[in-house]
Amino acid sequence: MPLPFPVTPMNPAYGYLLPRPYHYAVHEGFFSLERPVRVGEGLEQIADRLRFFGAMVSADAAAAIDLVAGAGLPPEGFTLEVTPDRIVLKAGDAAGRLYGAHALEQLLWIAFRWGANAAQLECGVVQDRPRYRWRGLMLDSARHFQDRETILATLRLMGKLRLNRFHWHLTDAQSWRIPAKGAPELNGHGDWQDGAYTPEDFVAIRAEAARQCIEILPEIDMPGHNVFLLGLHPELRCNPEVHGWEICLANPASMEFMKARLLEALELLPECKVVHIGDDECGTSHWDKCPKCQAKIRELGLKDSRALEEWFVNEICNFLLAHGRTPMVWGTHINPPKQTILQCWGNECDMVTCAAHDDNPVVSSIDHAYYLDYPQDDEDPHSDPMTPVTDMDTYCSTVGAHMVEYLGDRLLGAEAPLWTELVPQWRVRVKFLDRAIALSEATWSQQCHKHYRNFLQRKRGLELAGYTW
C-alpha cells in the first residue's frame, strides 16, 4: 500500500505529525537511526520504541536523544531539535514532555517505516504549543457503566491526542456511580444501575490521569436529572407522593445532601480544580406548586421559581468556590457567579446566548460538531432527530472562531461529550476514536494550519506505518 505522499525533502517526516505543529523547519542532514543511540532519562517510551524497531540503544553511544528542561516555553509546549548527532526534546512542564515524546514517537514510526533509503530522520526543528487550553472529552458513565479498564484506556487515548480535560458524568436520572460514603444506598442497583465505582477505582483512575496530564472534573448533576436519587430519597422531592426530576430547592435537606456528596467527590479527587454541577434541563412546575419553594421565594424576595433555581445554584457554586474549586454548569438560563465556567451546547445561537453572561469563561460543546453520541454516519445506531456528526464536522468546527473577537480569552476551548443512552461499553472507543483524533487537531493546532484532506493523509500515513492511537 503506497503512502498518501512520500517522505522526501519536500515532504519530511515532520509533515506527518498529528496534531499538526505550530511550526516546523527542515535543516540540512540526517540523524541516522542505524547506529547505537543513547537515550536520556525521562524518555523510556522512546528507548522502548527504538528497541521495538530493532535499533541499538546503548548507554555509551555518541549519538543521543535527550530530554532537557526548557525555560520560557508556553504551558504544555515543547521544542524538538534534530541535528546529525543529537535529538533534544525541550519542555517546560510534564504535559510538554509527554506530548513531545509522543511527537517524536510518530516521527520514529515514519522514519523506520518510510525513511527514503535508510532509517533516518531529517534534521530540523519542531516548535509546538496548544491553541486552546481546554481540550476535553466527556464520558457519561451514568446511562451505561464502563469498567475501570475502559476508563483507563480512554485516558491513555486522550494523552496521545493531547486532550487534557476528562469530564466524568457520574450521576443522572438512571444511576449514581460515584461512591457516596454517607448515602451508600445510592450505589445499589437501580433501573440502569449495573455497577458503581469504588474508591479503589478512583485511586487507579487518578494515577493514570496524572500520568497522561489530564484534569478530571467530576459531574454531579443538580437540581434536575435526579429521578434515581429521588426514588430512594422521596423526602427531597417537593411533594414526596409525586415523581419528578428536580429536587426541592427550599428543603434545607436538599442543599445539605448535595454539599455532602460534593465533599465526598473532593475527597475522592483531591487534586480536582473544576467541579461540574449540571444545572441543565430543569422544569419549574414542581417548584411552582410547592408550598416550601413558594415560601422561600417570598422570604428571599425573588421573582419566581427560576430565580429560586438561580439562588440554589449560586449557593452551591459559592460553596465550591469556598473550597477552592471552580464550578462549571451546562450553558444556562441563570446567572451563576462570574468565575463559573459555562459549557455551551445546542447550536451557535445557544452559544451566543450562553456566552452573553458577563465575564464567565466558556467552553464550546456545540452539538453538530462535538456531540459524539450522534451517529458517525447513517449506519451508526441512533435515535431519530440525531443527524450524523462526522469526523469532518468535528475537525472543521472552528470551536468558536466566529466568537473569538467577542469572547477573547473567555473562550477556553472545546469539549466533546459522549452521552451513552445508546452506547454500551464496547462501543465507547469506536464512538470516540475518529472524532477524538479530529478534536485533537481542532483544539491543538492553529486555525490557519487546518486542512481536512491533509489531516486525513497524515492520519492514514501514520496508520499505514503501524502507528496506533
The residue (of 249 and 465) whose beta carbon lies closer to Zn ion is: 249
Give me the least distance between CB of 190 and Zn ion, in Å please.
Answer: 23
* Residue 220 DSSP class: E
Give me the least distance between CB of 418 and Zn ion, in Å please.
Answer: 33
Report the amino acid identity of residue 350: D
What are the backbone dihedrals phi and psi of residue 82, each rounded to the nearest 5 degrees, phi first? -115, 115
Residue 329 DSSP SS3: strand
Give me the least distance between CB of 285 and Zn ion, in Å please.
Answer: 11
The residue (of 290 and 407) whose beta carbon lies closer to Zn ion is: 290
The residue (of 238 and 416) whose beta carbon lies closer to Zn ion is: 238
Size of the chain in residues: 469
Contact 387, 376 (CB under 8 A): no
The residue (of 140 and 279) whose beta carbon lies closer to Zn ion is: 279
Give me the least distance between CB of 249 and Zn ion, in Å please.
Answer: 6
The residue (of 238 and 362) whose beta carbon lies closer to Zn ion is: 238
For Zn ion, the binding residues (CB under 5 A) are 238, 248, 250, 290, 292-293
The residue (of 241 and 358) whose beta carbon lies closer to Zn ion is: 241
Give me the least distance between CB of 150 and Zn ion, in Å please.
Answer: 38
* Residue 24 DSSP class: E
CA distance 126 to 81: 7
Contact 131, 116 (CB under 8 A): no
Residue 236 DSSP SS3: helix
The residue (of 75 and 240) whose beta carbon lies closer to Zn ion is: 240
C-alpha distances in Å from residue 345, one per residue of 77, 288, 327, 422, 438: 29, 27, 17, 19, 19
Residue with cell 450524523: 388
Give me the least distance between CB of 234 and Zn ion, in Å please.
Answer: 13
| Secondary structure of 289-301 as H, E, C letters | HCHHHHHHHHHHC
CA distance 34 to 403: 50
Q: What are 343's strand-pairing partners? A: 330, 363
Residue 385 DSSP SS3: coil
Give me the least distance between CB of 311 and Zn ion, in Å please.
Answer: 13
C-alpha distances in Å from residue 131, one per residue of 215, 262, 326: 18, 32, 22
Instruction: Classify each residue of 72-94 as buried b or exposed e, where b means 16 or more C-beta atoms within 10 Å of its C-beta.
Output: ebeebbbbbbbbeebbbbbbbbe
Give me the least distance between CB of 244 and Zn ion, in Å please.
Answer: 10
The residue (of 236 and 439) whose beta carbon lies closer to Zn ion is: 236
